[in-house]
Amino acid sequence: MSSNLWIFAASEAGPSPVIPHPAEIIVGLVAFSILFLLLRSKAVPKFEQAYRDRTNAIQGGLERAEKAQREAESNLQKYQAQLADARGEAAKMREEARTEGAVIIEQMRTTAQEEAARITSAARSAIEAERKQALNSLMNEVGSIATALASKIVGEALDDQARQSRVVERFLADMEESK
């Protein structure tokens, strides 16, 4: 019964505020159609163009980013290859330096040994010369002492140089035989 009252109350009250008049519907449809056509012809292409531009900008940005990424990876690989080459070169240079150092040390050792041998040889020669000089000096001194002693023993002067030399030579020969 309450639903019947509602219909009865609506028909007695006049036009319904919920249901529009047919003229309002037609004016609304015409206004909507004009608005729709204006938006479709003016605003929608601008929105679509902005959407396309934005999409292209994003796609271009992605492509540029991918290209930059590829270039960065390529540069990184080149850098790593150069670094590996540089490390290899440094190792090679260190090895060459060690080898050259060993050669230089061996040359210095050889030179030092040769110099030591030369100095030793020169010292031996000098010692031998000094020994001979000392021996000659000693022989001369012994000869003059022997001559003086022989003169005293024999009782005659051995002033003659030839005689003196013969006496000294005989004395030295006798000494060498007695060794």
Confidence of residue 16 (pLDDT cuts 50, 70, 90): confident
Does 4 reside within a domain?
A: no
> Residue 3: pLDDT above 60?
no
Q: If you count them, how many residues does the chain have?
A: 179
What SS3 state is found at 15?
coil
CA 139 to chain centre: 73
Does 79 reside within a domain?
A: yes
Does 9 reside within a domain?
A: no
Query: What is the rounded CA–CA span in Å between residue 119 and residue 15?
Result: 142
Confidence of residue 174 (pLDDT cuts 50, 70, 90): confident
Question: If you average pLDDT over residues 69-97, what whole number do you get?
Answer: 94
Percent of the residues in the chain that have a pLDDT greater than 90, as a whole number: 49
Q: Burial of 81 by CB count in 10 Å (0-12 exposed, 13-18 middle, 19+ buried)?
A: exposed
Q: Which domain holds residue 159?
A: 20-178
Dihedral angle of Cα 24, 29, 34, 40, to the nearest 10 degrees? 150
Query: What is the rounded CA–CA span in Å between residue 16 and residue 115?
Result: 133
Tally of structural domains, the chain: 1
Question: If you average pLDDT over residues 95-110, what whole number do you get?
Answer: 93
> Residue 143: pLDDT above 70?
yes
Percent of the residues in the chain that have a pLDDT greater than 70, as a whole number: 82
